[in-house]
Chain A
């Protein structure tokens, strides 16, 4: 087990390196740059700025310097938020994104598994149909629609909750962004659970459990549910990585001071270092959660052994 974790962590290094390299060059090949504003800067100012940030150096040198700094944890200054380094920006925003993302993840996971299981047990009933229809809507309606609609109903019309901002971080403030974030994922979990649960209920060993007179509760929870959780657990990794690193749309709509905005803002403004920082952040989350999920998978399924 320990050697499995170490091997996986070792293989994370080349993965990160490849991710960083590809995004570095992709970003640089995009037209424009961080200082190409609507009103062009005077040539001398431009040249000074380029020199300050070493952007006048050959690309290869910049790349080597970036990698050199990055391994020491220095992701450079942001070109747009000039008073902050990228590490500072992410350090400030990440706790907000992670907290909100964690609540959303829990809501999506618990809600999705519950509704999916109910739908599976009542397969092809009106209830199943209703749950699946709603979850289709959850997957297909984008959160830039869900967010404003929720705000309109619950914050403006009914005035139950504030329309945005982190506030004091209480549930009152977080409930709407949490729902907007969780809804599509909840729908995916519900569909996954329903599908794998129906499959699990049709396996031979469930027939065995029934044939041995075990009560329905035991059959469903002890035997079918555990098998049905395997695909759900697999999806947990990408889902957790996506939710915990924030969403640009939801954070913008509800004015949450998280890191989600930086992906989009960084990319639009050609804020090279900020984009690179967020890419590394997401990559690390994906790698870590995949590892955690693989360990969890091994605990759930004895056929998958990590040795």
Chain B
């Protein structure tokens, strides 16, 4: 299939280099890309593939130590090496961009109306007052309800989805030729993600601009892109129509990416398996505001009367969007936040257990967090991190014993035991998550609560971590509570699924039943929004 559409942005031999104290790092190694009028090109790759830096380089947005060489011609005009003044006539007008972080991409100190007006005033002239009508029109266009009122809102008064709509309004303000969307939905909940992508699609159909979609998510690519460029380590490994890439991938890396979607299924434990952890009628309140001379305190109910029973060897997947209370529920079950309800661990009723009563049980109830960067102390060696719990729970161990246990645990999570003498920053995200898992399993726990353990990881790494978790479960007879917003991961990990919204359980059941015949509307919305490949 040949595309006769005109090429409007031609990238040739584009290189992006960063100067670092350890020498130059080439993030983009001389790539060619063509963007045609009105098409949707997806640039796909994992973190570090150079997909974002390519666009940042073209737009003159690299960090100070970054340098771009090569050629990027927009309708014949060379952008690389163009002085700032010249570049400023193109960016924000002909080529616009929306970013991954809707929370931080808008200036918190100005109203959204003013921020959308800024590029209009700058590129077209006129006053902010005159631009106001256009801003209202744009807000209407991107589906912000009640634009006349919202135009004077500040970013912090809007949700993530709304902020991304504001960014899109800004991007459309000057009728661009090309809209670059850099991971536009990664930071958003799945249902919001679907709405934003829908909006982009509609707007593209209406205005006919080209969209460059930078993403790591193949589900999105399949649904929205007409052409795909797959990037890896600063190079384009394959380009082709979306159908070709998905049906007949040529490069090994593309095949690997496609296969990296989590798969497999976990079998349920026997019906007779004893219940190991139970929470009945769990409720958690957060108090907001209040103080010596402050206004009266408000109460926010994060978890509202949820009951859950975890059997030995079972994995319960808890799905929900941000604010659904899924993480808080996990912490409540471990008695880490003040909560009401009845809690039972094995044969012990732990409802009234305080901090010190819980301590001896902690080793059997472990928690692994989402962020493998924030949850490991940067000033401790990996060995110190993973053996810390042993000091508390097995104080009788000698230094040599602890070291032996550390070696075992690291081997078990697939890391070189020599890693114990190194520091967390020397490891990749996936390796750090393995370290976090090693820290939990070294104590030989019975229940592990996994709070979005794969969400910060690339797809291919995600698959490996999931395999590891499954192996460990089998080897040690662990029971998991697996918290995630990612349905494909939940599907691969759990034998029982609980869907949460606003602190309550919307629906629960065996994994197959939930995925194949969801009953509740909310579950159905979640499923359809998730683009599971």
Contact = CB atoms under 8 A, between A and B. Distances in A.
Contacts of A203: 104
Contacts of A227: 107-109
Interface in A1-30: 7-8, 10-11
Interface string B1-14: 00000000000000
Interface in B278-332: 292-294
A205 B119 contact: no
Contacts of A218: 118, 122
B180 to A, nearest CB: 9
Contacts of A216: 84
A93 B170 CA distance: 57
Nearest to B88: A213
Interface stretch (B92-100, B217-225, B523-531): B92-100
A212 B118 contact: yes
Given A212-B119, A214-B88, A10 B99 contact: no
A210 B101 CA distance: 16
A215 B122 contact: yes
Contacts of B156: 302-303
Given A11-B292, A205-B106, A211 B59 contact: yes
Contacts of B88: 213-215
A208 interface: yes
Could you say which interface size class chain B belongs to?
Answer: 20 to 34
B89 interface: yes
Nearest to A214: B122
A210 B294 CA distance: 40
B91 interface: yes
Interface in A199-248: 203-205, 207-216, 218, 223, 226-227
Contacts of B110: 223
A208 B106 contact: yes
A205 B107 CA distance: 5
Contacts of A207: 61, 99, 105
A213 B92 contact: yes
Interface in B52-104: 59-61, 64, 84, 87-93, 96-97, 99, 101, 104
A10 B109 contact: no
B18 interface: no
Nearest to B295: A307
B91 A300 contact: no
A239 B167 CA distance: 39
B366 to A, nearest CB: 35
B232 interface: no
Contacts of A56: none
Interface of A: 7-8, 10-11, 123, 203-205, 207-216, 218, 223, 226-227, 300-303
Q: Which 5 interchain pairs have the tightest Cβ spacing? A: A213-B92, A212-B92, A213-B88, A204-B104, A205-B107
12 contacts: A123-B64, A207-B61, A207-B99, A208-B105, A209-B118, A212-B92, A213-B119, A213-B123, A216-B84, A227-B108, A227-B109, A300-B109
